Structure 1
């Protein structure tokens, strides 16, 4: 299967915001308790944080992390998680029908995030609570000293405020399942006033308003229009969520859901433009795709379990075992975020540990990388810079969710500071090898410096505690560059990260 693709140094999409490779973690299942935090574990540090998990997190170079929810936040009292641990109340979490011990709260999580080198993105409860509690939470977290809430934080041993600039105004408020669900106009007005209050505390705060829970909601995309008409001038991002699966066991249709996601982003981009024009606004609003991942392996099974269990503490919930097919999907979805980086500035894989996550950790046992860990890691490490347009001319296919889908999925990033160009490629074809011919116009002296590949695995192959490296990348072969043209063979069902040194172009040689 012959494919000709091409890119040009000057045909740019956008400067990629590093936060495109962010993450999300919620007080849900074992994400926090026995995920990142497990006192008594052989790998626990003096504060109870698992060092083995922390090491895997650090290797991802995550720029930001959304916390503490998710559905959990819509009935959460943030004050329950501060002060002496022995005095913290145990509460019933209505979102996931479990007990919340509050042994990890804002201060513990901030300590963990600092050790991981991750910036916090905090969510406020606009479900069961509202503006006043959001304001108090923010004052506790970010005001230096001299007020009730800031001095309370200092009395808890945290002298310096947290430099939190990203604040999520609730979670999935369009969803009838949400505690405190609201109509669009009502929620938009509350979000507007909350954003104003937060920005009065710190003018550099970025406010993220809730968009649709997914693009199949009956209120989509009118929800975004109604909400933004109430709060456009005071918010910076609108959030989108979407989860994916292959319950029909149709691999090509599964992969094509990436095209569906592109349409989702494009549609909400149009809504943003419409509201901006209607309001004659001067500010820009971007997309924060702050929940995305594969979620279907245990979805139906767990939906029955958690609705009937008797309020357990940190139960195993949504602990998906990801396979090689899922890794190929995640690689392609991240490629789509790169191609849409003019609209999508922030994106958060949901979640980070144990719950629909790239990292798994057993209670009292080992931690390991799931298959989807690797495409997420490669994008985070090498997908920073400027997204370049890539034209692909090759065979396509039609399926249920999209037509004219390229078998070869390509994204390209030019890192001007590192003087590199990185290609992220997925051959989606079930059987055929791609014969690639790709001019890199503007990079005549490009030199291959690294090629990593994930290929040769069965679609259902997965990693686990007894075989943690069953599906992992290896050094690639069969691809080279000659006189500014990339040529080579990409086997069926494969993912490639190919990096080039373009130092001479940066110096003006051959430009």
Structure 2
């Protein structure tokens, strides 16, 4: 049996864990919305048409924020199509996914769903077919109290109170040739700057004051992501790390809009081209490198301005995706309405990679302030549904739910002292200290010892493992085959947390004072 020795101390920290790293993504694509979260004829549906079996699983998953309405979909979307009386809404062709969009679910329905599930909405504006004026109008409709054409229109639609949407994405994957309205980096950066400016002028308190303008890009109050007076705005980074324009794109975009945005986005989907579990797990290391590189680029832009402002990161699309093919490979002809698309069936090794990615996010808690698994239901998702039927958990559900539940507070900086090097992260939330560890060894257990003598804990409250040496094991509607299992014998002795981590497992060890 291998062994691994780590150390933790309350003085060595990374940063505060932003709950938004436990986000997800709902796009008008495939069956994510229709027969996913929204199915009025389903036996469990409430008066709004929201599937309550899905809503309960979403709550158990611990999702904190959801990005909407896309994704590629947003670059051809007119938000006005999805508000007002449903009978008056137009049916449109969705060119992003080659489908037909009925618009029976839109902005206000999504806000109602978010309120029911206690989730923060993260919205995207269309900078593909539309632009600055649309961004301004959308924020006014959603967030202005009243007394203007668009805010009064929201009142007429039955929503007198502002939606108060704080987090906005400035377009989607604008570097991608597949994207409607794709454009070069500096052109997009200038567009993002102007869109951000008018969105802030509509929404942000003090937006026209001298102090506000003087503080733009200088670490002033409006850049504080926890200040509800101000919008949080994310510019599009590269669609993935393999793009030919990667790195230069991030630099050029931020060089144009640095003063007006708070966040740069990252997107990544974990593939398995070599077909082995060992090579597949290397996606975890590549994600760590990707995040570090984007941080360096953002800080280089700040350095050219001699600015103390730090651009934060949002990994607002990420997940495993390599089995089900691309939508164009499976799409029926004739613009079908919400057909099944990329409904990946996840297995045990996929859960390991997702768990490892969550460890990476915790270890970058100082700069990664949001992350959204793509997507929430049916589309490469932790939750699957049958139209009119059952809903169930995929294997990747469990590491996400446990990380969201226990990975809060402050991320601790761990010292690796000896033995095997695990994927390892730790958090401290009040009196609770939680260790997350991924044992990549597919055959051997690993004896973990963590020096916690300075943390005031002496009781292991939770000790769970998610994994299986049969790395192709999947869940079904009938059986939750990868449900967490107890790690027997986990304890604290002589100031050390001690546990035997099973092979091919992602583990949670959460401790409290006795």
Partner of residue 295, structure 2:
269
Equivalent in 229, 244, 247 of residue 221 of structure 1: 247
How far residue 449 of structure 1 moved from its aligned partner, in angstroms, is 1.1
How far residue 288 of structure 1 moved from its aligned partner, in angstroms, is 0.8
How far residue 445 of structure 1 moved from its aligned partner, in angstroms, is 3.9
8 Å CA contact retained: 2:122, 2:167: yes
Separation in structure 2 between the aligned mates of residue 113 and residue 73 of structure 1, nearest angstrom = 19
Partner of residue 335, structure 2:
311
Residue deviations 1:452-501, cap 9 Å, x none? 1224451111111232x122112221321113201231121112111100
Partner of residue 219, structure 2:
none
SS in 2 for 1:207: strand
How has the CA–CA distance of structure 1 residues 79 and 445 changed in structure 2, closer, same or farther, with 3 Å as cutoff?
closer
Partner of residue 499, structure 1:
510
Match status 1:414 vs 2:428 = yes
How has the CA–CA distance of structure 1 residues 135 and 444 changed in structure 2, closer, same or farther, with 3 Å as cutoff?
closer
Separation in structure 2 between the aligned mates of residue 422 and residue 245 of structure 1, nearest angstrom = 29
How far residue 446 of structure 1 moved from its aligned partner, in angstroms, is 2.6
The worse-fitting range, judged by mean Cα deviation, of 58-67 and 206-215 is 58-67
Partner of residue 15, structure 2:
14
Measured on the aligned residues, the alpha-carbon RMSD in Å equals 1.3
Partner of residue 341, structure 1:
365
Residue deviations 1:297-354, cap 9 Å, x none? 1025x44123x62200000001111111111110110000000111111111111011
Separation in structure 2 between the aligned mates of residue 394 and residue 95 of structure 1, nearest angstrom = 50
SS in 2 for 1:10: coil
Gaps of at least 5 residues in structure 1 are 397-405, 504-511
The worse-fitting range, judged by mean Cα deviation, of 439-448 and 374-383 is 439-448
8 Å CA contact retained: 2:141, 2:153: yes
Equivalent in 345, 351, 355 of residue 375 of structure 2: 351
SS in 1 for 2:9: strand
Partner of residue 208, structure 1:
234
Equivalent in 289, 292, 309 of residue 315 of structure 2: 289
Separation in structure 2 between the aligned mates of residue 450 and residue 57 of structure 1, nearest angstrom = 22
The worse-fitting range, judged by mean Cα deviation, of 56-65 and 33-42 is 56-65
8 Å CA contact retained: 2:487, 2:501: no
8 Å CA contact retained: 2:348, 2:468: no
Partner of residue 274, structure 2:
248
Match status 1:376 vs 2:377 = no
Partner of residue 192, structure 1:
193
Counting only pairs closer than 5 Å after superposition, residues 49-198 of structure 1 correspond to structure 2 as 49-198=50-199
Separation in structure 1 between the aligned mates of residue 464 and residue 111 of structure 2, nearest angstrom = 34
TM-score by length of 1: 0.93
Separation in structure 2 between the aligned mates of residue 175 and residue 368 of structure 1, nearest angstrom = 33
How far residue 280 of structure 1 moved from its aligned partner, in angstroms, is 2.7
Residue deviations 1:35-94, cap 9 Å, x none? 000111111111111000000011123221110000000000000001110111000000
SS in 1 for 2:452: strand
How far residue 283 of structure 1 moved from its aligned partner, in angstroms, is 2.6
Equivalent in 408, 429, 435 of residue 441 of structure 2: 429
Partner of residue 213, structure 2:
none
How far residue 393 of structure 1 moved from its aligned partner, in angstroms, is 4.5
SS in 2 for 1:477: coil
How has the CA–CA distance of structure 1 residues 457 and 103 changed in structure 2, closer, same or farther, with 3 Å as cutoff?
farther
SS in 2 for 1:29: coil
How far residue 394 of structure 1 moved from its aligned partner, in angstroms, is 5.2
Residue deviations 1:206-229, cap 9 Å, x none? 110000111000001000000001
Separation in structure 2 between the aligned mates of residue 455 and residue 169 of structure 1, nearest angstrom = 38
The worse-fitting range, judged by mean Cα deviation, of 235-244 and 272-281 is 272-281
How far residue 389 of structure 1 moved from its aligned partner, in angstroms, is 1.2
Separation in structure 2 between the aligned mates of residue 342 and residue 445 of structure 1, nearest angstrom = 25
Separation in structure 1 between the aligned mates of residue 49 and residue 68 of structure 2, nearest angstrom = 19
Residue deviations 1:400-446, cap 9 Å, x none? xxxxxx3x211100002xx1001111110011111222211412543
8 Å CA contact retained: 2:351, 2:467: no
Separation in structure 1 between the aligned mates of residue 395 and residue 468 of structure 2, nearest angstrom = 13
The worse-fitting range, judged by mean Cα deviation, of 186-195 and 58-67 is 58-67
Gaps of at least 5 residues in structure 2 are 205-229
Separation in structure 1 between the aligned mates of residue 418 and residue 180 of structure 2, nearest angstrom = 48
